[in-house]
Amino acid sequence: MSLYEEVVTVTSDYLGPAAQRFIDRQIESHLEKKPQEISPTDLKKLVEWCKVSLALLTQDKDEVDKYAERLSGLTTKAR
């Protein structure tokens, strides 16, 4: 599974079917890349943007932090 697919999978746990569109928008807008082009070095910046954006959608800070932690954990996997 690619890093992009993993990010979408984690995000799906929080946003359901809107996850892919949410992630695509974050990557294209803030990283100025095509979604499938993200690399582990992009993840830190992507996590920060996703965290900010998700916080606009929910007031549950614990869930936002948990989401960011799970995304950040993707960098520890061997690639």
Q: Summarize pLDDT for 4-61 with one digit per residue, the tens.
A: 999 999 999 999 999 999 999 999 999 999 999 999 999 999 999 999 999 999 999 9
Q: Domain total for the chain?
A: 1
**pLDDT at residue 77, as a whole number:** 56
pLDDT above 90 (res 79): no
The domain of 23 spans: 3-76
> What are the CA-CA distances from residue 32 to residues 13, 47, 67, 76, 77 (Å)?
25, 15, 22, 24, 24
* Element holding 52 (H helix, E strand): helix 43-57
C-alpha to C-alpha distance for 16 and 38, rounded to whole angstroms: 21
**pLDDT at residue 75, as a whole number:** 73
Report DSSP letters for 18-33, one per residue.
Answer: GHHHHHHHHIIIII-S
**pLDDT at residue 29, as a whole number:** 96
